[in-house]
Amino acid sequence: MTAPRLKEPQIPSGRTRHNAEKWSWVFMRISGPLLLVLIVTHLFVNLMTGDGINQIDFAFVAGKWASPLWKIWDFVMLVLAMLHGFNGMRLLINDYAHRAGLRKVLHALLGIATVVIIVLGSLVIWTFDPCLGTDPSLVPDFCKDLA
Amino acid sequence: MWMWVVHRVTGVAIFFFLLIHVLDTALVRVSPEAYNDVIGSYKTPIYGLIESGLVAAILLHAFNGLRIIAVDRSTWALRHQKQLVWAVWILFAVLMAPFLWRHLGHVFGGA
Amino acid sequence: MTHHEYDVVIVGAGGAGMRAALESSQRARTAVLTKLYPTRSHTGAAQGGMAAALANVEDDSAEWHVFDTIKGGDYLVDQDAAEILCNEAIDAVLDLEKMGLPFNRTPEGKVDQRRFGGHTRNHGEAAVRRACYSADRTGHMILQTLYQQCIKQEVEFFNEYYVLDLILDGDPQAAAPGEEVAVAGVVALELSTGEIHTFNAKAVIFATGGAGKVFKTTSNAHTLTGDGMGIALNAGLPLEDMEFFQFHPTGLAGLGILLSEAARGEGGILRNSEGERFMERYAPTIKDLAPRDMVARAMANEVREGRGAGPHQDYVLLDLTHLEPAHIDEKLPDITEFARTYLGVEPYTEPVPVYPTAHYAMGGIPTTVQGEVLRNNTDVVKGLYAAGECACVSVHGANRLGTNSLLDINVFGRRAGIAAAEYASGVDAAPAFPEDGDARIRALVDGLLATVGGTGTERVSEIRKALQETMDRNVQVFRDADSLAEATRVVAELKERFTDVAIHDRGKRFNTDLLEAIELGFLLEIAEVVVAGALAREESRGGHYREDFPTRDDERFLHHTMAYATGEGVRLDTKPVVITKYQPMERKY
Amino acid sequence: MTATAESPAVAEVPTLTVTLRILRTKPEGTAEHGPGESYWEEFQVEAHATDRVLDALHKIKWEQDGSLAFRRSCAHGVCGSDAMRINARNRLACKTLLKDLNPAKPIIVEPIKGLPVEKDLIVDMEPFFASYREIMPFLMTTGSAPARERLQSPEDRARFDDTTKCILCAACTTSCPVFWTDGQYFGPQAIVGAHRFIFDSRDEGQWDRLEVLNDKAGVWKCRTAFNCTEACPRGIEVTKAISEVKKVLTTGEI
Ligand SMILES: Cc1cc2nc3c(=O)[nH]c(=O)nc-3n(C[C@H](O)[C@H](O)[C@H](O)COP(=O)(O)OP(=O)(O)OC[C@H]3O[C@@H](n4cnc5c(N)ncnc54)[C@H](O)[C@@H]3O)c2cc1C
Ligand code: HEM
Ligand code: SF4
Ligand code: F3S
Ligand code: FES
């Protein structure tokens, strides 16, 4: 029942220091609108133009990635989406995983997944070989010229 | 409150989809055959529906995200947040309709 | 049972209790026992303001404030106390401001002030702006600010501890004049466990607030059951001037929820069913801003003479419709919301139905200006203090001026806090706490618990309802020998019935059923004292109006009433009024 | 003989029978229910449409079951004692009129969520007050105090007016879905309490408070669910206050 001990108010203190949660919040707000543009365009190009989903195949991807614009586009989208998603999931884990141990495990899994996906995705985008493989019908037309 | 639930659920859904999506796209590094196989299965009606759900989730999450940002930045938006929730749903409906028409047309019409 | 030892124990965490705690906890080991969380105390319901002659907006002086207080109290005020009240008022307000209280401000940034009933310039010339305020939630701000300061000072609270008994080391009535009687501590029930705690203390301050629940229509909280007064009475101490109860003119009709006098201070007008501004007839100079007793009587009179409004012609109307809605929103936001919420009336466009509501106990535990509790006209109980509405220093006399109570709790709360701590530092040890100090309360609690499922036939709520109805009918704005005799009879009968009361909750934890029974016990004792005092006072003065004796009688009754519980009814005695500067005059506004 | 107000406003209102479904918990248990086990119980009371839910609860307590436990004091929405969940929304029982609730259907009354239930509608408020104390809710100043009052313009005074109205009823905090999920969040009330001082031109301890609110359990936990604003019986724009605090933290300017 006794009153709590309060820390003495130290007036004036330095500005706030531990800003992790703040930056996480700001990041969500910056990455969100960017992602909106990136993803909606991505979806539109892939699903709404031309033959929609049916046009998507190896050749389509290779065709897109022949342009550095799309390479950069997809790369930025990948990284931002993963970081945004990572951060969002981290908040969720903080809310729902009450036991410290569980929380550690989930955070670790989340971190690993995020790193793996970003690295993997980046590798795929930057080391993509449009003329991979042997079946000429599957690769884009320009591979024939190269050959 | 319910928009908060929606935002959370859609956020998680998109996240898991993104994991899978990157993995499948990574197959382009393995071989064109493997990639086309997997992508091929996306073109079946079942996946067509799932894909639609995904787009729905992204759109909802995205517009609601904009609403949240607006509410944090402007007093007007804050005081009209309920109307903005309606706006999110209307915008969502307006964009989903043509998309569904076209996408499901592709999926089921086999064009 | 758990036993505690402190230098100072404060009972009550309203404005008076916390103001005392801020002083006392700096100087001595202090515990604050309160039956409610501090922020639930009824000080938070106070609306209009706190008086102090700051002269921030117009000419004013503490001297005029003293005069108004004495005249408002119909010359039953102890004038030495009134001088202290009004002179310390200025610092009391400034102290609160420095603690952070968000007062409304003048354009220059100073504490703003507004008009209030009975506060005048130069001994009655015209209404003066003396009430410092914060919209219509001044009490809320005071309560919050004091609580915040208590948090800062790490005051030790015992929340939801219900004090039931006061332990003295002698019998205050049997002790000879001059003989020492000192306080030993209190006994309390911890609500959340049902456990009984004893507190041994060198000094005890009572700040338990009012007793409005003896009436049916009241602005007071359900929890204002006069516990402190009842406990003092049971311990053999007197209560002073209990027949003086203030009926606030503007309670929401039928509900009693208060609409602050600030409504009239900001320009609101009372009208009868004919639309007439009837206060012009009763108080030509200050009209609607006359003191409360006069306005309440005028209203009741209008209703009696058939000029009441409404389907049953049983209320009058408070008209704010000529005020700008923006002005109302800025100055009176809460009370207008009460009208909307509870009566469905829109004050911008419709007048609000109002009727007098039991509001404030002018009387209480008699104290000196240091807050020391008197056990007779001259002897104090060593180490025992009281402040706030439960005390009677007597700065309010027969009728309190609006805004003087928030002032009272700050000025005399502070004084009691300092005096108690200093007294406690001066004595080596508290008187020993008797072995069986809690026996009486243990028996009371066990006795009531044993009635669960037993043979008791009376319900607490029924007795309480009957009490409140009889008090409303017979001891309200107008009283006479017959109505008071009737009230005497009913109260005695209810006391008898109370011995056969049964409760229904057998649990130990949060047994609010048990507590309501105990509270009813206090209410009955206080009602008895109120009625006895009113019957004996054959004159009309301030809040006490006898239709059979409609004038003030200074010859016979210019004295305080001291009421003692003897075990066989109430014994009444008198105490002289302290008159320093102002000889009684006729009271005209 | 004397004139007393016999409920003029309600005299015309017909009585009706309302059913209250109350979530009860007895720490000592009952014949049918174990200690601390929660169960629903229905009561029927005669009431006026203009009665408050608090009046109905009182009727039950005073006429039917004295063991029903709830807190109340002022009975007109200013003390903050009786926040409870009524028809799935946090409200003050004394500020909720039966007529605004569709009395034709049972009225569901539960304790506020997220704080430990002690008995029936009474919860343990200590965690709530602890969060309040955490944000140092008192004026902090440096230097010696002036002889008279500190000056403050009406405009500066208006900046924090909204948050001074808080009565610490906990309706906001216990309606917040984030507060329910993790229980470490200070909750909206603590932010309201801090806001009241952060935007007070006389205060110099803003950054100490902001530091607390910048913490893991602080403002950043708020996901703008707006339940708090909707629940607040004092009409405080709670989410707005939270958002203003966030703005200060991101821009560094008050
Ligand atoms: C609606 C309303 C409006 C008012 N407006 C004004 C105004 O504008 N200006 C003005 O000057 N005055 C006003 N007053 C009067 C003034 O508010 C009160 O007289 C004053 O606040 C009383 O303060 P207090 O500290 O004595 O008691 P309270 O604030 O009532 O506090 C009593 C305390 O005692 C505790 N307590 C009681 N019994 C026990 C017990 N048995 N054991 C333990 N603790 C106990 C309670 O928990 C509480 O903390 C108003 C009053 C009302 C009802
Ligand atoms: C398309 C554009 C997007 C926008 C505009 C957007 C916007 C936002 C915003 C503003 C938040 C913060 C909400 C808050 O603080 O209350 C957020 C949270 C979140 N986002 Fe996004 N986002 C987008 C895309 C994505 C993507 C692609 C993912 C998945 C990878 C994702 C997953 C999440 C998650 C999991 C949360 C956390 C939800 C919560 O804590 O309740 N978002 N989003
Ligand atoms: S902000 Fe509103 S809901 Fe929250 S505690 Fe204060 S008054 Fe209650
Ligand atoms: S309900 Fe909770 S999430 Fe934020 S807006 Fe209110 S604190
Ligand atoms: S009883 Fe005071 S707020 Fe409801």
What is the residue-wise DSSP string for C187-201? EEEETTT--EEEEEE
With residue C391 as reference, give the H or E element that holds it: strand C391-392
User: In this structure, is residue C538 part of a structural domain?
Assistant: yes
**Residues belonging to chain D with any Cβ–Cβ distance to chain A shorter than 8 Å:** 130, 133, 136, 140-142, 178, 181-182, 204-205, 207-208, 210-211, 214-216, 218, 220-221, 246, 249-250, 252
What gap in Å lies between CA C116 and CA C65, rounded to an integer? 12
What gap in Å lies between CA D212 and CA D96, rounded to an integer? 35
Cα–Cα distances in angstroms (integers) from residue C212 to residues C223, C430, C468, in the given order: 9, 34, 10
Q: A1 pLDDT exceeds 70?
A: no
User: In this structure, is residue C179 part of a structural domain?
Assistant: no
Say whether C574 sits in a helix, a strand or coil.
Answer: strand
Query: In this complex, which of A33, A35, A52 lies closest to B103 when CB atoms are compared?
Result: A52
Cα–Cα distances in angstroms (integers) from residue D32 to residues C391, D26, D117, in the given order: 48, 11, 19
CA nearest to D223 within chain B:
B4
User: In this structure, is residue C197 part of a structural domain?
Assistant: no
Segments forming the whole domain that contains residue C497:
451-558
What are the residues whose beta carbons fall under 8 Å from the beta carbon of C100, sequence distance 6 or more? Answer: C145, C148, C149, D138, D139, D197, D200, D202, D203
pLDDT tens, N- to C-terminus, chain D (254 residues): 334 444 444 445 678 899 999 999 999 998 899 999 999 999 999 999 889 999 999 999 999 999 999 999 999 999 999 999 999 999 999 999 999 998 889 999 999 999 999 999 999 999 999 999 999 999 999 888 888 999 999 999 999 999 999 999 999 999 999 999 876 899 999 999 999 999 999 999 999 999 999 988 899 999 999 999 999 999 999 999 999 999 999 988 88
User: In this structure, is residue A52 part of a structural domain?
Assistant: yes
Amino acid in position A55:
Q
- Least confident segment among C221-225, C442-446, C449-453: C449-453
Last residue of a domain, one of C296, C323, C356: C356
> Do D214 and A95 lie within an 8 Å CB cutoff?
no
- For residue D19, the distance in angstroms to the closest alpha carbon of chain A comes to 36
What's the pLDDT tens digit per position in D38-72?
999 999 999 998 899 999 999 999 999 999 999 99
The CB of A39 under 6 Å from ligand 2? The reply is: yes
User: In this structure, is residue A1 part of a structural domain?
Assistant: no
Say whether C30 sits in a helix, a strand or coil.
Answer: strand
CB atoms closer than 10 angstroms to residue C555 = 7
User: In this structure, is residue C178 part of a structural domain?
Assistant: no
- Least confident segment among B28-42, B49-63, C358-372, D227-241: B28-42
Half-sphere exposure of C241 (CA within 13 A, CB side): 40
ipTM entry: 0.91
User: In this structure, is residue A20 part of a structural domain?
Assistant: no
Q: Per the residue annotation, which of C292, C297, C414, C541 is the catalytic one? A: C292
Half-sphere exposure of B21 (CA within 13 A, CB side): 16
Alpha carbon of residue B72 to chain centroid: 23
Segments forming the whole domain that contains residue A66:
26-146
Q: Which ligand is nearest to the CA of B78?
A: 4
Share of chain B above pLDDT 90, in %: 46
Q: What pairs with residue C479 in β-bridges?
A: C546
Pocket test for ligand 3, best of D176, D192, D242 (most atoms within 8 A of CB): D192
Q: Are C292 and C116 in contact (CB under 8 A)?
A: no
The pTM of the whole model exceeds 0.95: no
Cα–Cα distances in angstroms (integers) from residue C244 to residues C470, C541, C560, D93, in the given order: 17, 9, 10, 33
User: In this structure, is residue C198 part of a structural domain?
Assistant: no
Alpha carbon of residue A40 to chain centroid: 15
Q: What pLDDT does residue B9 have?
A: 94
What are the residues whose beta carbons fall under 8 Å from the beta carbon of C65, sequence distance 6 or more? Answer: C51, C52, C53, C86, C89, C119, C130
User: In this structure, is residue C442 part of a structural domain?
Assistant: no
CB atoms closer than 10 angstroms to residue C81 = 23
> Do A3 and C159 lie within an 8 Å CB cutoff?
no
Last residue of a domain, one of C356, C373, C398: C356
**What is the number of domains present in chain C?**
2
CATH of residue C527's domain is 1.20.58.100
Q: What pLDDT does residue D13 have?
A: 66
**What's the CA-to-centroid distance between D131 and ligand 4, angstroms?**
15
Q: A7 pLDDT exceeds 50?
A: no
What gap in Å lies between CA C219 and CA C252, rounded to an integer? 9
Instruction: Look up residue C351 and give its two tokens.
Output: 């007048």
User: In this structure, is residue C325 part of a structural domain?
Assistant: yes
Chains D and B touch (3+ CB pairs under 8 A): yes
Pocket test for ligand 1, best of C33, C34, C42, C245 (most atoms within 8 A of CB): C42
Task: Locate all alpha helices (DSSP H) within C366-459, ordered by sequence.
Answer: 404-426, 439-450
**What is the number of domains present in chain A?**
1
User: In this structure, is residue A36 part of a structural domain?
Assistant: yes
The closest alpha carbon to C146, from C302, C290, C14, C11, belongs to: C14
Q: Where are the domains of chain B?
A: 2-107
Look at ligand 3, atom 7, and give the residue with the nearest C-alpha: D166
Residue D136 phi, psi dihedral angles, 5° rounding: 55, 70
Binding-site residues from annotation of C: 12-17, 34-49, 227, 248, 260, 359, 389, 400, 405-406
Q: What pLDDT does residue B106 have?
A: 76
Q: Are C258 and C357 in contact (CB under 8 A)?
A: yes
The closest alpha carbon to C303, from C259, C342, C265, C247, belongs to: C247
CATH of residue A63's domain is 1.20.1300.10
User: In this structure, is residue A18 part of a structural domain?
Assistant: no
Check if C509 is active-site. Answer: no
Quick one: fold of B2-107? 3 helical TM bundles of succinate and fumarate reductases (1.20.1300)
Alpha carbon of residue A46 to chain centroid: 18
The closest alpha carbon to D26, from D86, D71, D68, D83, belongs to: D68
